[in-house]
Amino acid sequence: MIELLVATTNRGKFAEVESSLKYLPLKILPLQSLGNFPVAIEDGATYEENAIKKARILAEYSGYLTLADDSGLEVDALNGAPGIYSARYSGEEGNDQKNNDKLLAVLEHVPDEKRSARFVCVLALCGPNSSGMKGWTVRESCEGRIAFALKGSSGFGYDPIFFYPPWGMTFGEIDRETKARVSHRGKALKKLAQVLPSIIDLGTKP
């Protein structure tokens, strides 16, 4: 069975990866299983650059096939911000509450029809250099709007303020399995699951 390292310390992201890939013959490893590990500085100009950098650094360090992602929320009224800076929008890495509070404050006087936004996810898959495997990426997105207040306790990040019009709810009001059907990361993981057997030998047909 092939071991796949998931290069994230975000428990929500890891759970989504684990759930989406559970039907493949993979042993999915959390980053914490390494003990100590290098932290990639996300200084790329795009989601792709950041995701590939994380995957390559951790694949080389660990020797495992490694999956990394970079994702963000793009708000049209803010010219695509916070974008690649979404996780540290408030200045503190990974503080969901502060990030949400700042975004709601910035958009306080923006009317509903101008609150369009999208989640973007780029997944990157890399092996250590010795494997000879080329890096692979996939990008997916999900369109929605920014709500006027937080709703729901499911998910993580900006989920409680990301309103998904087809279902009339925020991602914070939708359970993980249901959200995966339409979310940016869910769609990217679905595509990964479909092509993974053709990228590496899983003992299954492509």
Which domains can be identified in the chain, with CATH numbers?
2-199 (3.90.950.10)
204 band by pLDDT with thresholds 50, 70 and 90: very low
What are the angstrom distances between the C-alpha of 176 and each of 15, 46, 120, 156, 194?
A: 9, 27, 17, 10, 20
Q: How many CA atoms lie within 13 A of 94 on its CB side?
A: 7
Respond yes or no: is residue 70 known to be catalytic.
Answer: yes
1 band by pLDDT with thresholds 50, 70 and 90: confident
Dist. CA 94–CA 88, nearest whole Å: 6
Percentage of the residues of the chain whose pLDDT score is greater than 90 = 78
pLDDT, tens digit, 9 for 90 and up, residues 46-76: 999 999 999 999 999 999 999 999 999 999 9
Dist. CA 155–CA 176, nearest whole Å: 7
Phi, psi of 169 (to 5 degrees): -145, 165
205 band by pLDDT with thresholds 50, 70 and 90: very low
Cross-strand pairs, 6: 30, 67
Among 43, 69, 70, 101, the active-site one is 70
